[in-house]
Each structure stands twice: as C-alpha cells, then as structure tokens.
Chain A
Amino acid sequence: MIKHVPILLVAIPLLAAFMIPMIGMVNRTARTVVGAIALVMILAASYYIAGDVLVHGRILYYMVGSSNPEIVTEHGLTFPIRIGLKIDSFSLFFIIMTTTLVFIFYLFSTQYIEENERKNYFTVLFISMVAGMMGLLVANDLFTFFVFLEILSISSAALVAFRTERKHPPYAGYKYMFISAVATSFFLLGIAFLYAQYGSFNIDYLKEAVRGTLLDKIAIVLLIIPLAMKSGVVPMHMWIPDTYSEAPAPISAMVKLGSLICLYGLFRISFSFGLSHAHVSYPLGVLFIVFGILSMFIGVTQALVQKDVKRLMAFHAVSQVGYMLLGMGVGLTVVRAGDASFALFGKVAMIGGLLHVVNNALYKGLLFLTSGVLVRHFKTRNLDAMHGLAHYDVFTTVVFMIAALAISGIPPFNGFVSKIIIYESVFQYNPVLTLIAIFVSILTLASFMKVFYSAFLGMPANKRPMEQPVLIKCSMLVLAVFIVVIGIYPQGILKVLIEPAVNALVNF
C-alpha cells in the first residue's frame, strides 16, 4: 500500500474533480461530501507516509506505469523516459502543510460560497487546484512539474474570476492567467535549454549532469524567474493586489498557498541545479537576498497606504515572502563556502525560512478568511466604512487579533518564533539585513493596528448581532489553535518536520 501513496496523492483529487460535476447534477450535498472525502483521503495518505519518510529518512520513488514502480538505480532512474515521482522530507513538509490547510479552506468555503448552480464549478476547480498542487509537490521530472504548474494556474485563474457578475473579477482573472501563461512559457524555454544539453527531464539526473556553464546559468534563470513571478516576489508582484483582492476569501487563501507551492519549486530547482557549483549557488543566494529585501520593504510600505482591507492583506503577502527568501538566500550563499559558516548560521537561517513558510500559510490564511467575514458583514472592502465589529462578534475579533499579532511577530504566537530565528542567523551574516527585517516587522504591526482600529473598534454600525455558520467558525478556530500551538511549542515542528526538510534539501 505504502508504495502507491505518491501516485494516490495526485490521482484521488483528479478523479474526484472529474466525478464532481456528474454527482452535482444529482445531489448537491453529495457533491460537497465527495470533495471533502477526497481531501480527507489525501490528508490521511500524507500522514500515513510521514513516519516512514521523516523518521527513517526513506525517500519514496514512484515510476508511473512500471511493473514494479519502486525499483530505482542510484540515480533514481529505472528508465529515463518514464514519469517519475519522488517524495523526500522536503516535499513531505510541503505536502503535509498543503493537505491540512486545503481541507480547512474547503470547510470554510462550503458555507462561505452561496449555494447555487455555479457552486458545482467552484468545487470542481477547487479540487483540481488541489490536484495541481499535489502534482507539483511530488513531481521528480520537469515535464510533470510543468504540466501540474499549468493545471494549478488555469484552475486558480478561473477561480479568481469566479464572481463574474461583478465589475472587476474577470479582469483580475485575466491578469493572473496572463502572468501565469507568460511565466510558464518561459519556464518551458528553460526546460528546453536543459533538455538540449543533457537529453533528460529527470531532476535527479540533471542534478548530477549540470556543469554550471553559461547555458546552464541561462536555463536556471529561465526556470527560477517564472517561479519567483508566480510566488509574487517584488519586481514581479504587480498581479498580486488585484488577484488577491478580487477573489472570494477562501480562494485568496488558496492562491496564497499556491504561490507558496511555487516557492517550493523555486527552492527545489535552485537547490538541485545550483548547489553543485559554488559559482552558481553564491549569485543565486545573493539574488534571493536582494529579492527578499525588496519584497519585504516595498510590500509593507505599499500596504501601509491601502484603504481596501483585502488589498492591504495582499501587499502583506508580498512582504512576508521576503522573509522566506531572506532565510533561504542566506543559507544558499554560504552552503558552498567551504568554511564553518553554514553550520554556524546558514542552516539555522534556512530552518527559519522554512518555518516561516508554514507560519505564513497559517496566519495569512486566517487573515484572508477573517477578511472574508469582514467583507460579507459590512458589504464593502473599504476600511473607512467599517467600524465596531468587536461589539457583537467577539469570536472574529479574537482570531483576527491572534493572526495580526502573529504576522507582526509578537511573542506568544508563531510569527515571532520564525522571525527571531531569521533575525539571529541573518545578523551573523550581515547585521543591516536584520535591521531592515525588524523595521519591516514594526511597519507590519502599524498597518494591522490600522485595520483593527477601523474595522473592530468604534461605534457599532448596526445592532443586529451576526452569528457565523459553524464550519466557518471551526475552520478559523483550527487555524488559530495551530498558530498558538506552534508559537508556544515550536520545538516539536522544528524537530519533526523542518530539520529533516532542510537536511533533505542540502545533503543529497
């Protein structure tokens, strides 16, 4: 059973996505339940393999269509033309994060999206988006990676434009699809450059073969810039505010998760092809640090002046990606330096960066969900028109406070843990970078003070108290509990998930 898990992670959501329209014609409740069952199955499958991969350090290979799919040579190949899947600790960390969060967002969306004939389309696209994410995470060759990247982009662009009767969402969907299409076209060009030289798509094979020539460097740049574009790093962040603010709230959270998965691809490709040569890995690391600092600073300064609550949160999403890039970039610059600096602070910086990925997915998801509640309650996204929610919705106020304090890095919550790890390790690399990061954190707190002050405090707008549906409350509560638990006891996730992930990324 365990040997078929890698393909099941992709096959179950794909199958469910194509079954849902037929079931939805018969019974709408059954359709929602089938989607939930598919997501629970991949959640169970990902936890089922967790012990084997994390504790024993096993790497799961799967050759699609082979009679014995697990047999591999030392290069991870039986036959170089087959579709290869691979799960190591680094991808498993992202798989567990994705399956958990996607299930929570699905629960939220079942009661958030109003029930009508278009909800069938919503469910289909949601589940196929999950299929795209899982395929990206288990892919071991660039062909599969590319195909699932396209599945992810097309389904999420269609979901961004979901509220077609309104004025702006179709244009936001157009913008996102256009950005994704151009990015993936150039990604294909990068694959072409690698294929032309080495004649294979398999990442494990290419990792050994890449020599770091000029053509290799062009190929690596063509591979990582599109992925950086899709994760919303600053010089390429123009699509983020429109996309996140026009999409329905659970979809904003899902697109955010999708951009973190593109960040996974960015790390996977840069560490696979860049790590073997110091003259490739050092400039890549510097590029990551520059992107990270730019993203942090420009994202947060743009967020400060926004009046639209979802645009404000979208710019914070840009700014938070900067922290992850900063941590991973510092690790990448020193990993091949040949001295003790990697053991001293480089690895810690990478651990901080990866912990920030999961923390950011949790509190950013929670913030987007609360913004959905705010927008549905006040019927507007304008912060000036919102006031006094704290008088009659204590639950939303508390979870918003938890998320806002976590994103600003206030001690008992999870954002503090990852930020302090990044500050300490980056300080040993270059103190100026830490100063900028702390300054950005203060600006983040300032802008969330603004949201809290205008939306939650002040005179109550209308007296009728609004009770949230139970699944919406449950999903937000689970995210808040995760934030608090990781904040109080970070050693658990650090030891179980993050350290094996960093080891898998560096030692291969």
Chain B
Amino acid sequence: MSAILLYVTFILLLTIGIIALLFKRNLIKIVLAFNILDSGINLFFISLGYRENAMAPIFTLAPFDSVITMVLPTPQALILTNIVIGFATTALMLGVSVLTYRNNNTLDTRKLRGVEEYD
C-alpha cells in the first residue's frame, strides 16, 4: 500500500513539475518547477532502493545470522549526489535570474524573447 502511495506521489510531482515548466513564464517559478520535478525523480529512485525487512549496509552493526539481507547503498548515494547537484543547479539558475533582472528589468520570458541589438 505504501509503495503504491509513493509511486502515486512520484507521478503527481512529475506531472505538476512538467505542467509548471510548460506554462509558467516567470524565471523564478521555472526554477521552482524544476525543483518539484527533480524531487519527484529523487523520490522515485529512493523508493526503488527499498527492500522489505532489510538492514542498513553497515557490516559492523549486522547481527550474526546466517541470512542477512542488506540494502544496496548505491541508489541512496546517487540520490544524495543528485540532491547536491540540484542545489548547485538551483543556485546557479537563481543567480543568473537575478542578473537577468538587473540587466533587463523583467523576469517574464515573453518579454525577454528576441535579441535585436548586437554587442
């Protein structure tokens, strides 16, 4: 049941993110939409790494049983990396949005369209 809820949440976040990406015209709101999309994908990936009744992959803490099921730590590592990358991406995008506003006095993509002057 909880697995289905996770996947439903993933689909919802992905849909919200894509719709916002397609229809929002404000640069800051586009950054937010990208963040929603990214966290949806993170959630999907992290829920793929889940195993029923498994342990954290730390050998020193594992009990002396004959059968130990452990979680493969790679998806967690990848998602941790992706969160950091998402942070860097967001910071850079917000930074260039600020500069865009400073130079053009608008954040609206419809008004930013077109390069008339050559410099």
Contacts and interface: CB of A to CB of B under 8 A. Distances in A.
A381 B115 CA distance: 11
Contacts of B89: 150, 154, 177, 181
A161 B99 contact: yes
Which 5 A-B pairs give the minimum distances between C-beta atoms? A170-B99, A381-B118, A382-B118, A174-B96, A170-B100
A166 B37 contact: no
B72 to A, nearest CB: 7
B93 A181 contact: yes
Nearest to A143: B78
Interface in A155-182: 157-158, 161, 164-168, 170-171, 173-174, 177-178, 181-182
Interface stretch (A108-116, A191-199, A402-410, A449-457): A191-199
A100 B31 CA distance: 36
Contact of A174 (B72, B100, B115): B100
A143 B74 contact: yes
Contacts of A34: none
B91 to A, nearest CB: 10
A201 B99 CA distance: 38
Interface string A141-161: 001001100100010011001
Contacts of B41: 185, 188-189, 192
Given A154-B88, A199-B72, A380-B119, A188 B103 contact: no
B115 A182 contact: no
A235 B103 CA distance: 30
Contacts, number: 101
B81 interface: yes
A361 to B, nearest CB: 26
Contact of B74 (A158, A171, A188, A201): A201
B19 interface: no
A81 interface: yes
Interface in B12-54: 21, 27, 30, 34, 37-38, 41, 44-45, 48
Nearest to B44: A192
Given A185-B38, A381-B118, A174 B97 contact: yes
Given A182-B37, A188-B82, A195-B48, A177 B74 contact: no
A246 B117 CA distance: 12
A122 B21 CA distance: 30
Contact of A161 (B27, B82, B96, B118): B96
A308 B75 contact: no
A170 B96 contact: yes
B21 A182 contact: yes
Given A143-B78, A192-B45, A177 B93 contact: yes
B104 interface: yes
Contact of B34 (A154, A161, A178, A246): A178
Interface in B61-93: 72-75, 77-78, 81-82, 85, 88-89, 92-93
B85 to A, nearest CB: 5
A81 B74 contact: yes
13 contacts: A81-B72, A157-B92, A165-B103, A171-B96, A173-B92, A174-B97, A181-B34, A185-B38, A189-B41, A192-B48, A195-B48, A195-B74, A242-B115
A: interface residue count bin? 35 or more
B36 to A, nearest CB: 11
A308 B118 contact: yes
A245 interface: yes
A295 to B, nearest CB: 22
A154 B119 CA distance: 25
B56 interface: no
For A143, A174, A246, the residue with the greatest tally of chain B CB atoms inside 10 Å of its CB is: A174
A508 to B, nearest CB: 24
A310 B75 CA distance: 42
A188 B45 contact: yes
Contacts of B37: 182, 185
B93 A174 contact: yes
B92 A178 contact: no
A192 B99 CA distance: 35
For B27, B88, B100, the residue with the greatest tally of chain A CB atoms inside 10 Å of its CB is: B100
Given A166-B119, A167-B117, A195-B45, 20 more contacts: A146-B82, A154-B92, A157-B92, A158-B92, A170-B97, A170-B99, A171-B96, A173-B96, A174-B100, A181-B34, A181-B93, A182-B34, A182-B37, A185-B37, A188-B82, A191-B78, A192-B48, A195-B74, A308-B115, A380-B118
Contacts of A154: 85, 88-89, 92
A18 B112 CA distance: 35
Contacts of A181: 34, 38, 89, 93
A173 B94 CA distance: 11
Contacts of B93: 174, 177-178, 181
A192 B27 CA distance: 28
For A168, A184, A382, the residue with the greatest tally of chain B CB atoms inside 10 Å of its CB is: A168
Contacts of B119: 166-168, 380-381
Contacts of A170: 96-97, 99-100, 103
A166 B119 CA distance: 8
B108 to A, nearest CB: 11
Contacts of B45: 188, 192, 195
A146 B117 CA distance: 37
Contacts of B72: 81, 199
A174 B109 CA distance: 11
A173 B99 CA distance: 10
Nearest to B21: A182
